[in-house]
Chains A and B, each alone.
Chain A
Amino acid sequence: MLRYCMLALLGLLAGLALLPWHMQEAGVLAGAWVRASMTSPNAAPALFQAAIFGRWWFIPIIAAAFLGLAVHVLFSGRKLSQASAARAMTAIGALGFFLILAQGAAIGPGGWSYAALSDAFGPLGQKQFGVGAGMAVTTIGFLTLFTTGLAGQGGFRSDPFTAFAVGLIALLIVSFTAWPVGRMLVMALSPTPGQNAIEALANRLLEPKIWGLACLYSGKSCGVAWNTVALALSTALAATMLGLCFALLVTRTSFPAKKLMRALTILPIITPSFVIGLGLILIFGRSGIVNQGIEQLFGLDLGRWIYGFQGVWLAQVFCFTPTAFLVLIGVVEGVSPTLEEAAGTLRADRWTTFWRVSLPLMRPGVANAFLVVFVESIADFGNPILLGGSLGLLSTEVYFAVVGAQANFSQAAALALLLLLLAFGAFYLQRKILGRYSYVSMSGKGDAGLGQPLPDRVRRFVYGVTLPWTVLTVGVYGMALVGGFVKVWGRDWSPTLSHYSRAFSLEWGPSGVLWSGSAWNSFFTTIQLAAISAPVTAAIGILTAWLLTRQRFAGRTALEFALMLSFAVPGTVLGVSYILAFNVPPLELTGTAVILVLCFTFRNMPVGVRAGMAAMSQIDKSLDEAAMVLRASAARTMTNVLLPLLRPAMVTALIYSFVRSITTVSAVIFLTSAEHEMATVFIINRVINGDYGVAIAYCSVLIVMMMVALGTIQLLVGRRNLGRRTAGAKAPAPAHA
């Protein structure tokens, strides 16, 4: 307890006296604030702001920190019992936390934030902008004091590390998921002249633009909600069926190129979703090869048929079939072959066994895959914006409400709320289905049975569906790759490297290499931010997984539920709520790199948590207990026992969050700025401007780069594990004791 108290005080010292309280334009790491801190209050740490610049509202916070120091001195001098020291720490932590919130809320960029305050205290000569590193570190310091106090009073099994971890995760979820989504809700409820909050929200949600059914009786289009649901249902149906066929193909047939199939499923994970859309445009678009061919052969102009519902549907089915496949392969493998053998001995033929035993056993897994794809489809942004044409969908409508001429944030928030409700509905169904009807046996016992070959009819069907689809997939990606080397697709087929040179050219200037290509800026920004957020994501994810699987504490189920719920928030919704929540002080983050890193981190946290939880459940709990009995603290158990065993999970989390940060579109499209442009947003803008060449070239570079990155990391990690085993492997010990 003493050590954690000391750490908390060091945090407070750093946050109050060493780091600038407010956000620095050039970034904290640039160090420009060090020189400016004597002249400009906004560059100074809180202690100097209070001492030199008369910002008295920091004095209570500093006083709280000194109270913490006093408790530490008294406690270490045995003047204070453990129980009362712990109570004092909890109180001081809470007080400091409250004071930080209060000063941030009360004093904004225009002096007092509330008229009541300026009436009561008179006008304030000073103002403050968004908070920065100093405030963040100070908050963590008070949090540590608070949680250490709780642990000292017997909470969290008296373990200060667990207490701190729970506090940290809870604080992060509240600040970066619950608060923004809450802000969005408030925005959707904001009253308009003549309407109160509820009426205004009802008005926004019940618009004919959302729920209109004009498409049923006239040539006009239906409401965006219907479009979204119809698209998601049809995409989920097709992708689940295809995914199941591929899963059966890989697990239950003697198809020779299974490894290739598995490799193909990685492609959509490492490519931005709109690459498929691009490929489809190159095939079926106005100047696509199919359209051109048909025009030359038959003189028919197919026109823009790919733009609209069918185009988006096709692209999404391409995109999400691998997702469904990855879910379903576990489902198909989870059907115990012994049950099928038993059915066989009970005189069922293969067809009956498949229909009456295997398929019903897979049903919950199939339903799960369906819902996963459903959610992916409603949250998808890249394909609708490329191929949607005049088709209105929720995710794109949210975007247009924000960036469009009217910049109607309330409307965007209402639409995002609808999207959120749809996602939560699917999430609820998913939990219910998986909770109640899961037949997959995960006992860890080997199953002696052999997988039954498929009935002939089913096998022929599976081959008939999967093989053409594979050819089509390869075709789409092939087009997307080739397109980068053709002058003007559809008109001038002469090969060229000009797209690549425009995007990625280098020049040698007087001061060395000049990154003159138009893509370099966004390329480096993307890599840099993804590389910063990946370890953060992995660390938070694994810490959370550890808390959820290994620790029992009050509020654990609440924390788990909040987390699962936050995973269901679609990217578009998160993006909108981030701009709504973080564009005003005190947490003024829009336009900075920080908001992008935060967005990546909280978007990808599910990956880290799931990887961590999966790995954690493989590690026998008695290992932790053994470490505890062997006098190890929770922190030592974590670093010396669990983390080494979790290394594969950490690498998985690292890779996936890195890759997903690079390929994501939906959330970041709201958050990029001229200074911090992301690769995917750059590409989408090129496509929207009709500049396919550069877009395609850029996509190809991204795909190749991520393949190389994936391969290198896998190779390094694999080698390391192997090295350990060979080093330790001596002659096997004699079998007797």
Chain B
Amino acid sequence: MTNSTLQLGAEPIAARKPAAEVRLEGVGKRYGKVTAVKPLDLVIEAGSLVTLLGPSGCGKTTLLRMIAGLEQPTDGRLLIGGRDVTHLPPGERDVSMVFQSYALFPHMTIAQNVAFGLISGGMAKDAALAKADLALDQVGLPGLGGRLPSELSGGQQQRVAVARALVLEPSVLLFDEPLSNLDARLRRRMREEIRDLQQRLGVTVVYVTHDQSEALAVADKIVVMRNSEIAQIGSPRELYQQPANTFVASFMGECNNVKADLADVAGGRGRLTLGSSQVLTAVPDGLEQGQVDVAIRPEAVRVLPKDSGCLQGVVSHATYMGSCIEYEIETDIGGLFVVCGDIAGMRAKGDPVGLDFVASGIAVVRP
């Protein structure tokens, strides 16, 4: 299938209109006494791909649905491209959305599905269908316009949903967990295609997911949400390497939360004591010297022969994972989860080992 990626030819579908900035000013949502989203400020820059990431129930989908106009905020103002759209219905916001379930109309053909929005907007039926065919070509589904959604595979349905949203040339495109119904391999491929497409068209994308690896892979910027509010905003690298607190640290991948002594805090950096060695790390604003929380990535711990390195420990669990070995190691600073690439030198349960740390995988965090 040469056409299978979202290759857009000489005439990209959505590039004729400049992308729009999405600005949330104190936007919040309450259902009676329950708060779904606490009032928050957020600016999504024009042409960027921002993911809303968080565990289920954190308010990320509600936030997305408020941007779409499917929910009315109970507080604040919402601007798209500088225009106040807080009280406009979804159809008048110049946004478009790909649903988690794809929401393809089961009784319409693929072409009718894609043309639906164009016809709603007043385009003549023939012109709309012709444009829909073009869009289907461009998402790699040429000639399938006459089929029903039930006759397509999951990945194809996903492309149709994307085509249906794109054909309207929206200035903001919204994705609600678009890949959660696909299997792992397809998921990887589709997320690359979505990223590719966004780069090509330069459209603003807001993308909701609960999968941190998906967020890391596609986003310019990640908004981590927890308990109805924003926990941290940053680039994928910032969030992984400098999480603001233990929640973000744990949510952005496996991590060991330990306590350690911090000294010599100056200019946003400080000296951290881990075992017998001292590591220079960045320190978040407002933290002072003394005992602090430290997040250590499992791949930032090196397993060495006994009596070398800066910390001594004993293997309490060793699991062979194919491409790596996972260890649980008991040490003086607590149990550590370690991922080690040295397959040949696999230790057994009860073996004493020495440990060393890689500074880039260690971060001082707020509790």
> Which of B101, B152, B159, B164 contacts A630, CB < 8 Å?
B164
In whole angstroms, what is the CA distance A287 to B107 when docked? 59
> Which of A630, A640, A644, A729 contacts B168, CB < 8 Å?
A630
Cβ contacts under 8 Å, B95 to chain A: 629
Say if the beta carbon of A638 comes within 8 Å of chain B: no
Binds B, one of A178-186, A490-498, A617-625: A617-625
- Given known contacts A728-B148, A730-B151, A737-B158, A630 and B116 CB-to-CB distance under 8 angstroms: yes
- Given known contacts A157-B89, A629-B70, A737-B4, A728 and B147 CB-to-CB distance under 8 angstroms: yes
> Which of A625, A632, A644, A736 contacts B116, CB < 8 Å?
A632
Say if the beta carbon of B200 comes within 8 Å of chain A: no
B24 CB to closest chain A CB, in angstroms?
Answer: 18
Check A737 against B116 for contact (C-beta < 8 Å): no
Say if the beta carbon of A626 comes within 8 Å of chain B: yes
Check A622 against B159 for contact (C-beta < 8 Å): no
Say if the beta carbon of A631 comes within 8 Å of chain B: yes
Residue-wise interface mask of A (262-300) relative to B, using a CB-CB cutoff of 8 A (1 in contact, 0 not): 000000000000000000000000000000000000000
Cβ contacts under 8 Å, A732 to chain B: 151
Cβ contacts under 8 Å, A622 to chain B: 99-101, 103
Check B109 against A733 for contact (C-beta < 8 Å): no
- Given known contacts A630-B116, A729-B151, A730-B151, A625 and B159 CB-to-CB distance under 8 angstroms: no
Cβ contacts under 8 Å, A644 to chain B: 107
Say if the beta carbon of A627 comes within 8 Å of chain B: yes
In whole angstroms, what is the CA distance A644 to B96 when docked? 24
- Given known contacts A644-B107, A737-B4, A632 and B153 CB-to-CB distance under 8 angstroms: no
Check B120 against A632 for contact (C-beta < 8 Å): yes
- Given known contacts A157-B72, A158-B89, A631 and B156 CB-to-CB distance under 8 angstroms: no
User: How many residues on the A side are at the interface (Cβ–Cβ under 8 A)?
Assistant: 32
Check A737 against B97 for contact (C-beta < 8 Å): no
B339 CB to closest chain A CB, in angstroms?
Answer: 31
Say if the beta carbon of B127 comes within 8 Å of chain A: no
Name the CB-closest residue of A to B174: A629
In whole angstroms, what is the CA distance A154 to B89 when docked? 10
Check A733 against B144 for contact (C-beta < 8 Å): yes
> Which of A632, A728, A737 contacts B109, CB < 8 Å?
A728
> Which of A159, A728, A730, A737 contacts B189, CB < 8 Å?
A737
In whole angstroms, what is the CA distance A733 to B153 when docked? 7
Check B97 against A736 for contact (C-beta < 8 Å): no
Check B147 against A733 for contact (C-beta < 8 Å): yes
Say if the beta carbon of B142 comes within 8 Å of chain A: no
Check B151 against A728 for contact (C-beta < 8 Å): yes
Cβ contacts under 8 Å, A728 to chain B: 109, 146-148, 151
Say if the beta carbon of A734 comes within 8 Å of chain B: yes
Cβ contacts under 8 Å, B186 to chain A: 736-737
Cβ contacts under 8 Å, A157 to chain B: 72, 89
| 19 contacts across the A-B interface (CB closer than 8 A) | A158-B87, A159-B89, A622-B99, A622-B100, A622-B101, A626-B99, A627-B116, A630-B117, A630-B120, A636-B120, A728-B109, A733-B144, A736-B1, A736-B155, A737-B155, A737-B158, A737-B159, A737-B186, A737-B189
Say if the beta carbon of B345 comes within 8 Å of chain A: no
Check B91 against A633 for contact (C-beta < 8 Å): yes
20 extra interchain contacts, Cβ-Cβ under 8 A, other than A627-B105, A631-B91?
A622-B103, A626-B104, A629-B69, A629-B70, A629-B96, A630-B120, A630-B168, A631-B92, A632-B116, A632-B117, A633-B120, A644-B107, A728-B147, A729-B151, A730-B146, A730-B147, A730-B151, A732-B151, A737-B155, A737-B156
In whole angstroms, what is the CA distance A290 to B177 when docked? 71
Say if the beta carbon of B68 comes within 8 Å of chain A: yes
Residue-wise interface mask of B (131-148) relative to A, using a CB-CB cutoff of 8 A (1 in contact, 0 not): 000000000000010111
In whole angstroms, what is the CA distance A645 to B149 when docked? 14
Check A626 against B97 for contact (C-beta < 8 Å): yes
**Would you list the 4 A-B pairs with minimal beta carbon distance, nearest first?**
A737-B155, A630-B117, A626-B103, A622-B103
Tell me the A residues contacting B by CB distance below 8 Å.
Answer: 154, 157-159, 620, 622-623, 625-633, 636, 640-641, 644-645, 724-725, 728-730, 732-737
- Given known contacts A734-B153, A737-B159, A620 and B87 CB-to-CB distance under 8 angstroms: no
B158 CB to closest chain A CB, in angstroms?
Answer: 7
Say if the beta carbon of B341 comes within 8 Å of chain A: no
Cβ contacts under 8 Å, A627 to chain B: 105, 116, 120
Check A645 against B107 for contact (C-beta < 8 Å): yes
Cβ contacts under 8 Å, A636 to chain B: 120
Name the CB-closest residue of B to A158: B89
- Given known contacts A622-B99, A623-B105, A632-B116, A735 and B89 CB-to-CB distance under 8 angstroms: no
Cβ contacts under 8 Å, B153 to chain A: 733-737
Cβ contacts under 8 Å, A625 to chain B: 68, 70, 90, 97, 99, 103
Cβ contacts under 8 Å, A623 to chain B: 103, 105
B173 CB to closest chain A CB, in angstroms?
Answer: 11
Cβ contacts under 8 Å, B100 to chain A: 622
Check B121 against A631 for contact (C-beta < 8 Å): yes
Cβ contacts under 8 Å, A629 to chain B: 68-70, 90-91, 95-97, 117, 165
In whole angstroms, what is the CA distance A734 to B1 when docked? 11
Say if the beta carbon of B106 comes within 8 Å of chain A: yes
Name the CB-closest residue of B to A729: B151
Residue of A631, A645, A735 with most partner-chain B CB within 10 A: A631
Say if the beta carbon of B190 comes within 8 Å of chain A: yes
Check A733 against B120 for contact (C-beta < 8 Å): no
> Which of A158, A620, A632, A736 contacts B103, CB < 8 Å?
A620
Name the CB-closest residue of A to B5: A737
In whole angstroms, what is the CA distance A93 to B156 when docked? 50
In whole angstroms, what is the CA distance A157 to B109 when docked? 30
In whole angstroms, what is the CA distance A157 to B159 when docked? 31
Cβ contacts under 8 Å, A645 to chain B: 106-107
In whole angstroms, what is the CA distance A305 to B68 when docked? 71
Cβ contacts under 8 Å, A159 to chain B: 89
Cβ contacts under 8 Å, B165 to chain A: 629
Residue-wise interface mask of B (60-103) relative to A, using a CB-CB cutoff of 8 A (1 in contact, 0 not): 00000000111010000000000000010111100111011101
Cβ contacts under 8 Å, B159 to chain A: 737
Cβ contacts under 8 Å, A733 to chain B: 144, 147, 151-153, 156
Near A by CB (< 8 A), chain B positions 155-171 give 155-156, 158-159, 164-165, 168
Cβ contacts under 8 Å, B116 to chain A: 627, 630, 632, 640
Cβ contacts under 8 Å, B68 to chain A: 625, 629
Residue-wise interface mask of B (313-338) relative to A, using a CB-CB cutoff of 8 A (1 in contact, 0 not): 00000000000000000000000000
B209 CB to closest chain A CB, in angstroms?
Answer: 17
Name the CB-closest residue of A to B94: A631
Cβ contacts under 8 Å, A620 to chain B: 101, 103
Name the CB-closest residue of B to A622: B103
Cβ contacts under 8 Å, B155 to chain A: 736-737
Name the CB-closest residue of B to A623: B103
Cβ contacts under 8 Å, A735 to chain B: 153
Cβ contacts under 8 Å, B72 to chain A: 157
- Given known contacts A735-B153, A737-B153, A628 and B103 CB-to-CB distance under 8 angstroms: no
In whole angstroms, what is the CA distance A101 to B269 when docked? 79
Cβ contacts under 8 Å, A626 to chain B: 97, 99, 103-105, 164
A604 CB to closest chain B CB, in angstroms?
Answer: 27
Cβ contacts under 8 Å, B147 to chain A: 728, 730, 733
B211 CB to closest chain A CB, in angstroms?
Answer: 18
In whole angstroms, what is the CA distance A640 to B168 when docked? 18
In whole angstroms, what is the CA distance A97 to B298 when docked? 73
B69 CB to closest chain A CB, in angstroms?
Answer: 8
Residue of B95, B106, B164, B165 with most partner-chain A CB within 10 A: B106
Check A628 against B89 for contact (C-beta < 8 Å): yes
B184 CB to closest chain A CB, in angstroms?
Answer: 13
In whole angstroms, what is the CA distance A144 to B159 when docked? 41
> Which of A631, A734, A736, A737 contacts B117, CB < 8 Å?
A631
B141 CB to closest chain A CB, in angstroms?
Answer: 9
A651 CB to closest chain B CB, in angstroms?
Answer: 15
Residue-wise interface mask of B (101-126) relative to A, using a CB-CB cutoff of 8 A (1 in contact, 0 not): 10111110100000011001100000
